[in-house]
């Protein structure tokens, strides 16, 4: 590659870092913004960029073009050496516009927006990336489920009778001549993930990562989305398709893995919450606006909803007087599910290494 090589990238807050790494024309404002964004995990972000460039010398410098729409993508394809997309489509029409194209990178692993047959016929390799941030979000979901199931957010550090009583529990003692001593704090309604049913709404990148991890806990996993997976994919991810109504009625745990769009805003509303199994838990490691806040609070107040966990929050930064904090069966975390920053940074190093090989 040389300074005139063009990499067209679907614009997104994280892939913009590639502009900072590869394009010397990136603005100082953007460089400073990323340095600030990374500072708590990578104090020397400029040094990290230098080290990354040294690993892929053939890619630097490059002309990075960020595009937001399909039309913008097509307008830049005639000059493109490589394309990186997440949701924008690449088909035979796009390939015909890109005579110099040598590689396509999917920012993820699901390639339904890319015509693989057309790419193969043209001899353009399609690269994928199993993003660590998606795995982290799946792990965070499992952590939230375990926390609520075992009430860890309520009992951690409560080891004395006085502490437990002050927290509203009724600890006791048992006659060890006859019984064991476990359970003396009398923590009621503890649950297990094993043998419980998890319903996943949205089997995209994160939903699939969550499914295999939940299956490893011995959970029964069902899912809903517009298009069912193939039989082979269902076997691979340990899940089976269910209608949305069946999922809500059968699931002990419901996890939302949807993007927030006009069609998904307040998708989980009063009606859908009412269809959930009484006492079931709702986990939202997606976007807060997918769940109608007023309907959620009503479902918690009525006791119909067994518990709720959320990351990120309805407003960021959050407020110490958030009404959701009044419920002892609610867990809120401040937009940390995809962290640490090295998840994304290591992803982009892997992406650039693979892209460099494809373009060699």
> Percentage of residues in the chain with pLDDT exceeding 90?
98
Residue 3 has pLDDT above 80, yes or no: no
Residue range 7-52, pLDDT digits in tens: 999 999 999 999 999 999 999 999 999 999 999 999 999 999 999 9
Please, which pLDDT band fits residue 2 given cuts at 50, 70 and 90?
very low
What pLDDT is stored for residue 1 in this prediction? Answer: 41
What pLDDT is stored for residue 5 in this prediction? Answer: 87
For 129, 205, 250, the CA distances from 254, given in Å and listed in that order, are 27, 17, 10
Q: Report the candidate in 267, 250, 249, 270 with the shortest Cα–Cα distance to residue 258.
A: 267
Q: How many CB atoms lie within 10 A of CB 270?
A: 14
Q: Is the pTM of this model over 0.85?
A: yes
Please, which pLDDT band fits residue 4 given cuts at 50, 70 and 90?
low
DSSP state letters, 178-216 = TS--TTTT--TT---STT-EEEEE--SHHHHHHHHHHHH
Q: How many CB atoms lie within 10 A of CB 71?
A: 9
Residue range 226-285, pLDDT digits in tens: 999 999 999 999 999 999 999 999 999 999 999 999 999 999 999 999 999 999 999 999
What pLDDT is stored for residue 209 in this prediction? Answer: 98
Residue range 82-100, pLDDT digits in tens: 999 999 999 999 999 999 9
126 neighbors 106 (Cβ within 8 angstroms)? yes
Average pLDDT over residues 116-127: 98
Strand order in the sheet with 6-10: 63-67, 6-10, 82-85, 103-106, 126-127
Pairing of strands 63-67, 6-10: parallel
Average pLDDT over residues 149-161: 97
> Percentage of residues in the chain with pLDDT exceeding 70?
99
The average confidence (pLDDT) of the chain is 97
Q: How many CB atoms lie within 10 A of CB 342?
A: 14
Q: Report the candidate in 321, 318, 280 with the shortest Cα–Cα distance to residue 300.
A: 280
Active-site residues, by number, are: 287, 316, 335
Q: Report the candidate in 349, 357, 351, 358 with the shortest Cα–Cα distance to residue 51.
A: 349
- What residue ranges define each of the domains in the chain, with the CATH number in brackets? 6-129 (3.40.50.720), 134-151+189-332 (3.40.50.720)
């Amino acid at each position: 590659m040389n300074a005139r090589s063009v990499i067209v990238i679907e614009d997104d807050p994280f892939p913009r870092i590639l502009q900072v790494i590869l394009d010397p024309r990136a603005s100082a404002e953007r460089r400073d913004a990323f340095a600030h964004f990374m500072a708590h995990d990578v104090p020397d972000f400029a040094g990290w960029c230098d080290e990354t460039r040294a690993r892929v010398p053939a890619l630097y410098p490059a002309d990075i073009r960020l595009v937001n729409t399909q039309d913008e993508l097509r307008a830049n394809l005639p000059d493109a050496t490589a394309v990186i997309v997440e949701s924008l489509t690449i088909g035979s029409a796009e390939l015909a516009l890109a005579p110099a194209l040598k590689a396509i990178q999917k920012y993820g692993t699901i390639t339904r927006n890319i015509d693989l047959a057309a790419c193969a016929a043209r001899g353009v390799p399609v690269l994928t990336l199993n993003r660590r941030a998606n795995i982290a979000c799946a792990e965070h979901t499992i952590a939230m489920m375990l926390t609520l199931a075992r009430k860890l957010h309520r009992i951690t550090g409560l080891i004395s009778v006085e502490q437990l009583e002050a927290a509203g529990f009724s600890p006791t003692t048992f006659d060890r001549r006859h019984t064991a001593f476990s359970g003396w704090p009398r923590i009621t309604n503890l649950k297990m993930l094993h043998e419980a049913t998890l319903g996943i709404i949205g089997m995209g990148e994160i939903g699939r990562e969550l499914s295999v991890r939940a299956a490893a806990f011995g959970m029964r996993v069902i899912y809903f989305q517009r298009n069912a997976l193939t039989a082979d994919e269902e076997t691979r991810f340990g899940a089976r398709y269910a209608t949305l109504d069946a999922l809500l009625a059968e699931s002990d745990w419901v996890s939302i893995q949807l993007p927030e769009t006009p069609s998904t805003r307040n998708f989980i509303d009063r009606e859908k919450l009412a269809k959930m199994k009484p006492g079931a838990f709702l986990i939202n490691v997606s976007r807060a606006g997918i769940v109608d806040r007023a309907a959620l609070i009503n479902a918690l107040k009525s006791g119909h909803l067994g518990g709720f966990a959320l990351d990120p929050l309805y407003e960021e930064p959050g407020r110490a007087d958030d009404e959701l904090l009044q419920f002892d069966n609610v867990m809120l975390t401040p937009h940390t599910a995809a962290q640490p920053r090295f998840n994304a940074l290591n992803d982009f190093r892997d992406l650039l290494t693979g892209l460099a090989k494809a373009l060699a």
